Amino acid sequence: MTPRSVESLLPETPPAPGEVKEILPGLRWVRMPLPFPPRHVNLWLIEDGAGWFLVDCGAQTDDAAGLWERVFAAGLGGRPVTRLMVTHFHPDHVGFAGWMAQRWGGAPLLMTRAEWLQARLLRLDAGEDMIEQQIAWARRAGCAEDYLRFLAGRGPLYVRAVLPLPRQYRRIAAGDSLRIGGRAWTVLTGSGHAPEMACLHCAELGVLISADQILPRITPHVGVQATEPDADPLADFLASNERLLSLPPDTLVLPSHGEPFHGLHRRVGAIAAHHAGRLEALRDACAASPLNAMEAAKVLFSRPLDHRALGAGIAETLAHLNRLVAAGELVREIGADGVAVHRRAG
């Protein structure tokens, strides 16, 4: 099947919540709403003999079960979900996995080891000491006291959007070949947005289920978290994307947000250029005057970030600052007040 003929099969509009649309014969698209940006997540069903192989399951929301029951009733041809693969630990991908496995009589859950462990850890780590760590991370970034009070009052978020996971899973890893519907799908993994995010590539179909590694319009979130404050996730992310250039340029990309698209290589290049521009802006700003992460975020984000968006904004800013520190272009110094400041090296 040529890229032009595939293009002609793509739906003109995304599926409505609870609706199923066909992408290719045996490959279907589901979209579920989210109570947080980007307001939707794409999920994929691959016909697999007597059942369906489901990729991701959405977040735990009040209406999720009802929407899924509509999908099962109208979109699966009376066949069950027999396997569930979750690409990574974020709530909009793993949140409903426990319900899904139970609904389908113990359908096995496939995940990479790092993503399984991260999801399990965050589901269990919801105590006061975790919130205190978040506050300490924000204080080191230079955030104001009103934001620190907001964090204390907000409490843990992960447990609200993620149901308890099944206590066992089947590990998948980079290079694994999964037989789905009589075709080979290869597991590719990416880092930066998540530690070991699983993508699926079918060479026969020319299709990549890219999860959040490659998105058509927005750039995936790449951030530094309180658990690993000196990490360099941006280097991991960019290297992961470079590996995707080994796939054919006319690959049909099925992303977790936005619409299916062609032009994988162009999109990888555009994302790399976006981050190069942000690195240059921070390099110049820190050369003019040493900056903490809160101050540096104002360089990257033209509009003010409210309390709900500030954590992600600071995390992304730190990813770029840490990349420049790791490259030897900036130096990080901790002041007497405990705030980390970044200045030009040398």
Is residue 310 in some structural domain? no
Q: Given this model, what pLDDT does residue 4 score?
A: 45
Per the listing, tokens 């790092």 go with: 114
Distance CA 64, CA 62 (A): 6
Q: pTM of the full predicted structure?
A: 0.95
CA distances from 218 to 136, 231, 318 (A): 30, 23, 19
Is residue 328 in some structural domain? no
Is residue 327 in some structural domain? no
Query: Looking at the 3D structure of the chain, how many domains does it have?
Result: 1
Is residue 319 in some structural domain? no
Q: Which residues of the chain have pLDDT under 50?
A: 1-5, 8
* 153 burial level (CB within 10 Å; 0-12, 13-18, 19+): exposed
CA triple 3-7-9, angle to 5 deg: 120
Distance CA 330, CA 221 (A): 22
Is residue 151 in some structural domain? no
Q: Given this model, what pLDDT does residue 324 score?
A: 98
Domain containing 200 equals 3-127+156-287
Is residue 94 in some structural domain? yes
Beta bridge partners of 265: none
> Maximum CA pair distance of the chain?
67
CA distances from 17 to 161, 169, 274, 335 (A): 18, 28, 32, 50
Q: Residue 213 is part of a domain; what is its CATH number?
A: 3.60.15.10
Is residue 331 in some structural domain? no
Distance CA 281, CA 276 (A): 9
Is residue 174 in some structural domain? yes
Burial 289-306 (b: 16+ CB within 10 A, else e): ebbbbbbbbebbeeeebe
